[in-house]
């Protein structure tokens, strides 16, 4: 079975502060990990994936297989980062895609 856990439902920070959204996963094989974001009144969209090892909108995420974690980080939060963030895992030959419960990030001015 594959499972994604996001321990924080809500996260509130001030503009310019660092932000970290936590994600832990459970999967017996080699998973692919993703962060998806949903801005207000917009569709859910891919933010970044672990295999790309890239920074998108200042966000990075490192896969830690030892701790089975894939935390999302940004050194200086911006107000436009306010959104719902979902961690997701894809595994198996049929690419089943499983999401966590999401973390609502609010960046205050």
Binding positions for other proteins, rule: CB under 8 A = 6, 9, 32, 34, 36, 43-46, 49, 51, 86, 88, 90, 94-102
Strands 96-99 and 83-91: antiparallel
Least Å from the CB of residue 45 to other proteins: 7
Q: Which is nearer to other proteins, 15 or 50 (CB)?
A: 50
Phi then psi dihedrals of residue 80, to 5 deg: -70, -5
Q: How would you class 2 by CB atoms within 10 Å of its CB: exposed for 0-12, middle for 13-18, buried for 19 or more?
A: middle
Q: Which is nearer to other proteins, 13 or 99 (CB)?
A: 99
Least Å from the CB of residue 17 to other proteins: 25
Q: Which is nearer to other proteins, 13 or 44 (CB)?
A: 44
Least Å from the CB of residue 65 to other proteins: 18
Least Å from the CB of residue 94 to other proteins: 4
Q: Which is nearer to other proteins, 65 or 101 (CB)?
A: 101
Cα–Cα dist 93/109, whole Å: 45
């Amino acid at each position: 079975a594959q499972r994604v856990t996001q321990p924080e439902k809500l996260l509130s920070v001030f503009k310019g502060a660092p932000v970290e959204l936590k994600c832990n996963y459970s999967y017996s094989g080699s998973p692919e990990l993703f962060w998806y974001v949903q801005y207000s009144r917009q569709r859910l969209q891919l933010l970044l994936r672990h295999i790309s090892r890239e920074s998108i909108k200042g966000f990075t995420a490192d896969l830690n297989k030892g701790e089975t974690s894939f935390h999302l980080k940004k050194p200086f939060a911006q107000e436009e980062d306010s959104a719902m963030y979902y961690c997701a895992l894809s595994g198996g030959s049929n690419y089943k895609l499983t999401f966590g419960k999401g973390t609502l990030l609010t960046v205050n001015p």
